[in-house]
Structure 1
Amino acid sequence: MINRTNAARAAAGLAASAALVLCSGTAQADAFVALPGGELTQTLSDGTVVTVRLVGESATISPSMGSTPVHRNAWVSGSAQVELSGPNANDGKIYPGYIVACQVTVNGGGVTGGVDAKSDWEGKKPEIGGKAGGNLSLGPGQAKSMYLLDQEEADDFGNESHATRNKFQGTHGSVTWADSTLGITGCAGYAQARAFVRVKVSTTTVNSVLTLWGQPFSIG
Structure 2
Amino acid sequence: MTNRKNMAKAAGVGAAATIVLGLLSTGAAKADTFIPLPGGEISKTLSDGTVVTIRLVGESANINPSMGSTPVHRNAWVSGTAEVDVDGANAGAIFPGYTVGCQVNIAGGGMSGGVEGGADWSGDTVKPTLGANSGGNLSLGPGQSKSFYVLDQEVADDFGNETHKKRNKFKSGSGSVSWADETIGLNGCGGYAQARAFVSVEVETDNVITWVTLWGRPFSLG
User: What TM-score does the superposition give when structure 1 sets the normalisation length?
Assistant: 0.81
The superposition leaves residues 148-185 of structure 1 with CA deviations (integer Å, 9 ceiling, x where unpaired) of 10001122343221111000111001111122211111
**Aligned AA for 2:105?**
T
What CA RMSD, in Å, does the superposition of the two structures yield over aligned residues?
Answer: 2.7
Mapping of residues 35-184 of structure 1, within 5 Å: 35-86=37-88, 89-108=89-108, 118=109, 120=111, 124-125=118-119, 126-127=128-129, 130-184=132-186
User: What TM-score does the superposition give when structure 2 sets the normalisation length?
Assistant: 0.80
Contact 1:129 1:163 (C-alpha < 8 Å) held by counterparts? no
Q: Which blocks of at least 5 consecutive residues in structure 2 are unaligned?
A: 120-127
Contact 1:100 1:194 (C-alpha < 8 Å) held by counterparts? yes
Structure 1 residues 10 and 62: alpha-carbon distance in aligned structure 2, compared to 1, 3 A threshold: same
Q: Which blocks of at least 5 consecutive residues in structure 1 are unaligned?
A: 109-117
Moved more, 48-57 or 149-158: 149-158
Moved more, 89-98 or 190-199: 89-98
SS in 1 for 2:90: strand
Mapping of residues 8-19 of structure 1, within 5 Å: 17=18
Contact 1:107 1:120 (C-alpha < 8 Å) held by counterparts? no
Structure 1 residue 17, shift from structure 2 partner: 4.9
The superposition leaves residues 66-102 of structure 1 with CA deviations (integer Å, 9 ceiling, x where unpaired) of 222111111111111100014xx42000000110111
Q: How many residues align?
A: 207
Structure 1 residues 155 and 199: alpha-carbon distance in aligned structure 2, compared to 1, 3 A threshold: same
**Aligned AA for 1:124?**
G
